[in-house]
């Protein structure tokens, strides 16, 4: 098991079936400088971009992923890509039929189901969608201190704690699972950092937002315990 700095790449995680087989199936968090100086592995290609989850005036909802000169719209009717076009203000993307115009946390969508709808970004939901589109297959979060964790088949386990000041990443590993109790456990120990993750397929309520999740999560990092909630993203 190796420990290295934060990297991003898409992937599909094939585990967590045993854990969640009985379950009902924030602008994103900005990276901060970590305090650790781990030994780095071969860098993983990052997928730069920004994700939004829009709630619109006609009660519709869609996810937008902006990558370079392209806007990917994940609409109820399907996924489309729009090229960037020049605009006096904001970021405008259009294929001549569908137009998406983003201005900060607001956006306008035209040419899909109605002439024009005004939309607002749901920053809390955008955090989860961003993790999914970057390749995370499970995500968890907790409070006091604020922390979040991502598990990916490709880039491994990422843990950011102490409100973003401490960042850890461990190489991909296979968990141990117990289908009867619907629990999954990860263990990693390298570079002086010890990590144990327990995923319990029981309902969990976020202690601050009150949001309901399908999995109760316990993390032990270098002997410090973190409690929180999480869910599978695929």
- DSSP SS3 for 44: coil
- Name the pLDDT band for 47 (thresholds 50, 70, 90): low
- Pairwise CA distance, residues 74 & 135, whole Å: 16
- Residue 117, pLDDT > 70, answer yes
Asked whether the beta carbons of 188 and 194 are under 8 A apart, the reply is: yes
Which ranges in the chain are annotated with CATH 2.40.128.200?
50-124
- Residue 29, pLDDT > 60, answer no
- Pairwise CA distance, residues 197 & 184, whole Å: 8
Average pLDDT over residues 1-21: 37
CATH topology of domain 50-124: Lipocalin (2.40.128)
Residue 170: CB partners within 8 Å, gap ≥ 6? 1, 2, 3, 156, 157, 188, 190, 193, 195
> In whole numbers, what is the pLDDT of the chain averaged over residues?
82
Identify the pLDDT of residue 40.
33
Identify the pLDDT of residue 36.
34
Asked whether the beta carbons of 83 and 69 are under 8 A apart, the reply is: yes
pLDDT tens digit string along 48-76?
Answer: 799 999 999 999 999 999 999 999 999 99
- The arrangement of strands across the sheet holding 156-161 comes to 166-170, 156-161, 147-152, 138-142, 224-232, 215-221, 193-200, 183-190, 176-178
Q: Which of 110, 119, 134 is nearest to 50 (CA)?
A: 134
DSSP category for residue 40: P
Identify the pLDDT of residue 191.
76
Find the range with the poorest average confidence among 7-11, 208-212, 216-220: 7-11
Identify the pLDDT of residue 115.
78
- Pairwise CA distance, residues 171 & 71, whole Å: 31
Find the range with the poorest average confidence among 102-116, 139-153, 212-226: 102-116
Average pLDDT over residues 192-207: 94
- Residue 80, pLDDT > 50, answer yes
Q: Please state, for a pLDDT cut of 90, what percent of the chain lies above it.
A: 68
- Which of residues 68 and 16 earns the better pLDDT score? 68
- Pairwise CA distance, residues 155 & 150, whole Å: 9
Average pLDDT over residues 177-203: 92
- Residue 10, pLDDT > 50, answer no
């Amino acid at each position: 098991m190796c420990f290295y700095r934060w990297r991003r790449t898409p992937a599909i995680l094939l585990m967590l079936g045993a854990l969640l087989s009985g379950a009902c199936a924030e602008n994103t968090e900005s990276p901060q400088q970590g305090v650790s100086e781990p030994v780095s592995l071969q860098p993983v290609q990052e997928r730069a971009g920004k994700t939004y989850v829009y709630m619109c005036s006609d009660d519709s909802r869609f996810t937008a992923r902006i990558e370079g000169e392209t806007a990917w719209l994940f609409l109820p009717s399907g996924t489309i890509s729009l090229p960037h076009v020049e605009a006096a203000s904001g970021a405008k993307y259009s294929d001549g039929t569908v137009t998406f115009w983003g201005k900060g946390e607001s956006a306008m969508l035209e040419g899909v189901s109605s002439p024009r709808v005004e939309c607002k970004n749901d920053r809390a939901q955008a955090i989860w969608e961003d993790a999914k589109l970057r390749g995370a297959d499970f995500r968890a979060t907790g409070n006091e201190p604020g922390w979040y964790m991502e598990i990916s088949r490709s880039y491994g386990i990422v843990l950011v704690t102490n409100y973003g000041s401490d960042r850890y990443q461990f190489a991909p590993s296979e968990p141990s699972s117990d289908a009867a109790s619907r629990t999954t456990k990860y263990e990693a120990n390298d570079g002086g950092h010890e990590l144990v993750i327990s995923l319990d397929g029981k309902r969990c309520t976020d202690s601050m937002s009150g949001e309901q999740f399908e999995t109760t999560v316990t993390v032990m990092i270098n002997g410090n315990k973190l409690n929180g909630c999480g869910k599978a993203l695929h």
